[in-house]
Amino acid sequence: MIDQEEAVMEIIVNAGQSRSLCFEALQAARQGEIEQARELLQQADTFTRQAHKMQTRLIEQDAGEGRQPMTLIMVHAQDHLMTSMLARELSEEIIHLYQRQPRA
């Protein structure tokens, strides 16, 4: 059985790292470093996958039977993960716009 506190912290840490890398990617794209931006997004994907994998393990352990207590920190972890996933998707679109924009 997965220790819930450790699992939740793993989700928060990995999701936070992913989100940070997405914003670094946006900064790189703003400076015209599109390849670096794409590499940063790939790194972000690695952290998102780790967070999502832990989330999936918690869901499987719960099996829809309410075995996992819903705590404030669990909700916080889910919020971090969803925010990082949204940041990733929006970053991809914004980087695409920067790529299409002619350099001044």
> Does 80 qualify as catalytic in the annotation?
no
Q: What's the pLDDT tens digit per position in 53-88? A: 999 998 888 776 777 778 899 999 999 999 999 999
The per-residue pLDDT for range 4-46, each reduced to its tens digit, is: 889 999 999 999 999 999 999 999 999 999 999 999 999 999 9
Q: Is the pTM of this model over 0.85?
A: yes
Q: What are phi and psi of 73, to 5 degrees?
A: -70, -30
**99, 29 Cβ separation under 8 angstroms:** yes
Domains of the chain by range and CATH?
Answer: 4-100 (1.20.58.80)
Cβ(4)–Cβ(69) below 8 Å: yes
User: With contact defined as beta carbons under 8 Å apart, do 57 and 7 qualify?
Assistant: yes
Residue 79 among known ligand-binding residues: yes
* Catalytic residue (one of 52, 76, 80, 96): 76
